Structure 1
Amino acid sequence: MFDKKTVLILGANSDVAKEMIILYIQQGYNVVAASRSTTALQDFLRAHNIGGDSVQVAYFDATAFATHRSFYESLPTKPAIVVYAAGFLKNNEEALLDWEGAYQMMNVHYCGAVSILNIIVMDTNNKALERVIGLSSLSGVRGRKSNFIYGSTKSAFTQYLAGMRQYLFDRGIRVHVVVAGYIRSKMTAGLELPESLMLEPLFIARAAVGVRRAFIIVPGFKWKMIYHILRLLPEQLVARLP
């Protein structure tokens, strides 16, 4: 199974991550799909006739920090590519009242990422490691009153990856962050979002898998425009946004 390069996908039950599993297998990689939702992952793989030696499902809990080192050390082979795709969403009003929900977002999007990715990138014995990819969000570009708790966790994650990119430069390991807009997924199901801005998980997955040199990848022309506008918009105008 492990004579080919391996991709480790953390949070592999997300809709984007599942599309990435298929794309990486099509490109000839082996995939370790890691998630708390191992049963759901197995069901997905069976539904898409994916099996054999190309993919392994492993249990991984982003918030169980004490287990991260043993998880990594138990991998049959160390990865060439690591994808962090774990996600959790509470709407802002709920997060303001529910500390546990806010704390879960912090742990899943930032603390869990730092915990496991630190372990992975500090393993200098893994000469195969060549790329780290994180799935972030445009919500982390500027603080907005409608989603600043969720957005702050994504902003922290993006900044962590920016520093990691510099830290790993001399080792030739590339780091990338996918700064995505609205994705049609189970996490956004039920939210009232503009249909004209919705992106399919496969579209995001292709952008992530196809990344080459750029640090920040913003899939979709409309979202690229929004990203640049948000970055440049004066704070007094940002304050008027929903």
Structure 2
Amino acid sequence: MMQRKTVLLLGANSDVAKASILQYIQLGYRVIAASRSTEALRLFVAKEISQPGEVTILPFDATDFQSHAGFYAQLPEKPHVVVYAAGYLQPNEVALHDFDGSFRMMQVHYAGAVSILNIIVTDMGNDRLERIIGLSSLSGVRGRKSNFIYGSTKAAFTQYLAGLRQYLFARRVTVNVIVAGYIRSKMTAGLSLPEALLLEPAFIARAVVQAGKAFTIVPGFKWKLIYLLLKWMPERLVAKLP
């Protein structure tokens, strides 16, 4: 009998993570969904999943670094796949004058990810581990004046994952980064974003659950073009962007 695989979703209350839960369940995975908002997750699972027992819900706070070792140690089973989807957004003009908000973005997107993922990948007793996926952002591709603080935290996360991919290569553990554009979600609600470029959480989730061997995955044809433009655009043109 083929062994059922387990996926651990960290930051599982995000819209993309919730859509990923549904898609992983459809693929036959057992899901461990971890988030600070466990009550919101329970309501979601009760409403959307016919067999709620397929999902184990655990409390996880990306910014509570001291709790991460204990969190990992008490998992009901070690994961085959780990998805880091925790996110926090503070508008750039606010973050410029509010270091607490800036620091929280650093903690959620980078320091928290490094803390928990280091614990997971150094557990040499978990020979099931086969993939780690991080949800990053096109905001981390180039520094732009409208969102460089948020973008810098995503850039740091992406670079960490790039190195982690090389570190785990000999163990045949694949590391992917989802470099997403604008997503219609509770985090972006209220922002003035072009409707034609908004992507649905389920679309991003499909890129997560279907991740292959490539490191960088940019969902959506329009966003692939924007990614390439941002990556190679001369600095004098980047300076003119919002």
- For the aligned pair, the TM-score class normalised by the smaller chain equals over 0.9
Q: Distance in 1 between matches of 2:148 and 2:51?
A: 40
Partner of 1:134: 134
2:19, 2:205 within 8 Å by CA — same for their partners in 1?
yes
Partner of 2:75: 75
Q: Distance in 2 between matches of 1:22 and 1:100?
A: 34
- Which amino acid letter does the alignment assign opposite residue 197 of structure 1? L
Partner of 2:7: 7
Q: Distance in 1 between matches of 2:91 and 2:12?
A: 22
Q: Distance in 2 between matches of 1:206 and 1:52?
A: 21
Distance change >3 Å, CA 146–CA 204, structure 1 → 2: same
Alignment of 1:161-172 (within 5 A): 161-172=161-172
Q: Cα distance, 1:50 vs. partner?
A: 4.1
Q: Cα distance, 1:240 vs. partner?
A: 0.7
Partner of 2:104: 104
Partner of 1:144: 144
| Pair 1:211-2:211 in alignment | yes
Query: Match of 1:13, SS?
Result: coil
Query: Match of 2:125, SS?
Result: coil
Partner of 1:38: 38
Q: Deviations over 1:101-147 (max 9, x none)?
A: 00000000000000000000010110000000000000000000000
Runs of 4+ deviating beyond 2 Å:
49-53
Q: Cα distance, 1:47 vs. partner?
A: 1.3
Q: Distance in 2 between matches of 1:16 and 1:52?
A: 19
Q: How many residues end up aligned between the 2 structures?
A: 240
Q: Cα distance, 1:52 vs. partner?
A: 3.9
Q: Distance in 2 between matches of 1:52 and 1:25?
A: 10
- Which amino acid letter does the alignment assign opposite residue 47 of structure 1? K
Q: Cα distance, 1:51 vs. partner?
A: 3.5
Q: Distance in 1 between matches of 2:81 and 2:102?
A: 29
Q: Distance in 1 between matches of 2:215 and 2:50?
A: 31
Q: Distance in 2 between matches of 1:70 and 1:145?
A: 39
Query: Match of 2:17, SS?
Result: helix
Q: Distance in 1 between matches of 2:50 and 2:95?
A: 37
TM-score (norm 2): 0.98
Partner of 2:22: 22
What residue ranges of structure 2 are gaps of 5+ in the alignment?
none
Tell me how large the CA RMSD over aligned residues is: 0.8
TM-score (norm 1): 0.98
Partner of 2:230: 230
Alignment of 1:111-122 (within 5 A): 111-122=111-122
1:135, 1:178 within 8 Å by CA — same for their partners in 2?
yes
Q: Distance in 2 between matches of 1:55 and 1:41?
A: 10
1:8, 1:81 within 8 Å by CA — same for their partners in 2?
yes
- Which amino acid letter does the alignment assign opposite residue 146 of structure 2? S
Distance change >3 Å, CA 147–CA 212, structure 1 → 2: same
Partner of 1:156: 156
Q: Deviations over 1:182-230 (max 9, x none)?
A: 0000000000000010000000000111011110000000000000000
